[in-house]
Every structure is written in structure tokens, then in C-alpha cells.
Amino acid sequence: MNIFTQASAQIISDPLPAYNKQLAERWAGEYMQVSQYRVKGSPYLLGKAFPGTLKFDDGTKNNVRIIYDLYNEKVGIEKDSLFFEVDKLVSEFSIMLPAEYANVNLVFKNAASFGDSKKKGFYNIINESGKYVFMKEFKLKLVPDPANTLAKDYRMFEQYHEYLLYDTASRNMKRIKLNKKSVSSFFQNNSAVEKEINDSKIDLSTEAGVSLLLARIGTM
């Protein structure tokens, strides 16, 4: 993890490609029915529960095993290998990933707190720096099952993510890609930030690069 001056950042290697590859090649579980498809894989983030902490407006619940259900966009607690939905609003949660994912603690905040009260799910906070927040949204999609390519009714849960930038002052949010053109488009009306992007030559094709940019621009 890289920590930048005046920034809170979580920079880790992306675990999803390895997880999806292992799922495609070594799946030995049961298929679940989703609409007309038989689907292999798990709707849970990285396929299982992780130790962590739940935060509510009125307190905190520590030392629980947390499941983030990407399909239903809900967070729950694992008990006896089953998913139990939390019975009150979760404002934030964190999970500790194991050694295979670099022993990193991931922090998620309720998506509804970023300008759209109807938005379900949670955003993984990569960096909070000054007035800007750099986030990642983990998602699911159904793709053809590599092990059953000729069967039209077989699918696989593939996990992926999208990046977002959020301006806490204007409450403007934009989905971005990790490249200079996309990141720059978020700051198109801020000449000082655009100048920093052009002059600093920061590599904006990485999470670390975008986080470094936010640390430098502060409250521009």
C-alpha cells in the first residue's frame, strides 16, 4: 500500500483477474439458477467472507465475517456458512484480505452517501484527498462459461470493477478509465488541475498515479 502526503490511499494489485481465471478453470461447486441460465461462480466479492468491521450511524460491530453480495448489492454477515443480511443501515464496512491479496484492508462506503440517495451498494474508497474522492465499484456480469461454450444456457459470474471520481464540493461524480484523457475530462473546467496534469507527467494509467495527482492538487 502506498500512502501519499495528505491522502488516504489503498493501492494494491488487482485481485479480480486471478480470481476470475481460477473460477473459470477450477470451479467445482454447484450451479445456481439466474433467469434462464445455469451460472457457476459466486455472487459474493472474491467468492467468500472476510474478517472485518461494520459501521452504522449509531455504532460499530467488530470482528465479524463480512460478505459483500455484488448481485444484490447488499452487505451481510456469515454465520454457519450462510449469508445473513444486516438489519440496519450500514454506512461503511472494511474487510481484511488474506495474504494472497497482499494482506490489505479495503474500506467501503455506502454509495447513497455520494449524491444519489437511491443508489444501492458500496464504493471501495481508494483515495480521499482534499475535496476529491477516488473510488472503485465492484460489479458482476454474466459471461459464457468457458467450460461449456456450446451450451447456450450456461454462464459464469465474472467480477469486474469501474473507477469513479467524486467532487465533494459540487457533488459531481464521473466514471473514468485509467488514462490521461479520461481523468482530465473530470477536471475540464479547472485550469489549475489541467496544468498540473500536463506539467507533472504523472502516469494516470494506474491507481497510484491518480492518487498521486489528487494528493498534489489538494483543494484546487
pLDDT given for residue 3 in this prediction? 29
pLDDT given for residue 8 in this prediction? 42
Supply the DSSP string of 52-105, one letter for each residue: EEEEETTEEEEEEEEEEETTTTEEEEEETTEEEE-SS---EEEEE--GGGTTPE
Q: What parts of the chain have a pLDDT lower than 50?
A: 1-11
Asked if residue 92 lies in contact with residue 55, where contact means CB atoms within 8 angstroms, the answer is yes
pLDDT given for residue 144 in this prediction? 92
Residue type, 150: L
pTM: 0.89
pLDDT given for residue 167 in this prediction? 94
Which residue in the block uniquely carries the three cell numbers 448489492? 73
Instruction: Count how many residues are written for the chain.
Output: 220
Asked if residue 32 lies in contact with residue 24, where contact means CB atoms within 8 angstroms, the answer is no
Asked if residue 65 lies in contact with residue 49, where contact means CB atoms within 8 angstroms, the answer is yes
